[in-house]
Chain A
């Protein structure tokens, strides 16, 4: 046989046989190259740096008020809410799709849950499960319309966004309804029992962070699913090269539908936690702005809008950055609306950096 490989004996040499060295993998030498190499290797690295810098900035700017359990429970609550939706968008964006209807499910599912509990006497746990299933079914609708009827998901989900937002407002004349409290359901899913003089090592301090802890669990699970299961592999394949994936036997339509279902379920879950937190189901709880912030979190976290690659851990850190900007700027005395300016700039900056790092990677192969 003509060409002999010696990968094992000679791991340092990339090409074998004729003694030529491969040009493929340039070893970074200068500090700038090293940093760029790190950034391109770990997509989460750049957003993590941003997050740490923001925390330091606000901690100093607020005279040490940022890193208190009181304030962090607010930031992390928002992080949790955004994060759940952001990881749903990450999975869909990896397949090359997007879901703009998540905010309507975020309003619709918990509203249905509370209505079932209040008017039909369904136990909250059961009502929560039923409304989760409803969220998943919205995902089925989004997925089927997108893959079977070939409507771009951007359009499909704008349609279902108005449809379900309209439904939830219509059901009860856009009236918020008070959610019942049934322990341990409420304590478990986000009712904040923490008092300023409670010990940090008490159960009450855990409840201060439950929304975030649920999100953290979801991130760990989805990250494992994405990186360690056949489903995750096929999700990446679908977005990276849909024709090739089909040719090799990946059922790309199903993969997309499953990811829409996941998004619907996660949005419902986020909505339920939010409702439990505020003890009230508001038909306007989720605005499209929430979806856009979640997409922003995913994108600044390192997920490509082009499909094929993404990171849920990055999205969680991205959600933290967005939540920190929203709350931190207010705390240091800025107007609430100013945070949008920073967020907008952050998105543009992150995108420019991503594109540049990718170009560098393609050119220099760092």
Chain B
């Protein structure tokens, strides 16, 4: 049996990498248990491909603190006496948890693995060295705690299955005074890096010498999206050099949404957004190549579009009224 610690966003929503983790576990064993340590997620909202799911609830103050997780997982192991490798996805929190659990049980820890395979009852763990300049392969025993880098787990499709059996464990986690969680703080669009934002705005030559640059900043604020741009935007000093997107700049692999404003979509620029899930392009030239890469394209001068788009996003009226509007209903 393999036990998977399900990665959650702020203790309240299942992360996409959870499905990859479970798929990896399925390849190692036919019996997979999912452990969900949360702070208020509803059982009905969880769809995971596993045989058994165990849920442990912590308070919102306890959830970000690793010692609370270590206690929760230790009591899960005591009560259900489950044996088998324990898989995690790597993050600072899970790193503290795996080390804490391994220190308690005396077993070894393998962090940031790329892949795990089974070879005659033994696990072979593949890891990267020197930022990917070499790989190591090492044997792990079935009592190991192994965390896998989520970058290698993203390609699995979401499962819609419900777990076969669900159990809830009630715990009283003793207070830990040494490290205390205070609050979550959102980074503003000015502080957040292009490579870590979920929504990024890109500007190009098309916005140069037009009177509506402040509109772009308002859009950035509404969507909490940092502003980057094309090489030309950098040369025209619309953005700093380190915010250039493309083959000679940065790749925004983490973003889900890219909004290209006044960008033609040269091959070098598209190189920088090749992994972005959704692209919205605003450009007044219908022949611009960016329209071949976008999901929604608006052919218009951006000065005319942005105020209306911002209003629609801000008051939310339209958004609420036409929630899940189809393409046909919008007349698109």
- Please indicate whether A and B come from the same complex rather than being unrelated chains: no
